[in-house]
Amino acid sequence: MRYRLYRTPLVMFGIGSIYFFLLQSRLPLGVVRKGREPWICIMTTNLEIVVAAGLLMWAFGVGPFLLVHTCPS
Note the pLDDT of residue 61. Answer: 96
pTM > 0.85: no
Question: CA 56: distance to chain centroid?
Answer: 18
pLDDT in tens, 9-36: 888 888 888 888 888 778 777 766 777 8
- Whether the CB-CB separation of 25 and 33 falls below 8 Å is answered with no
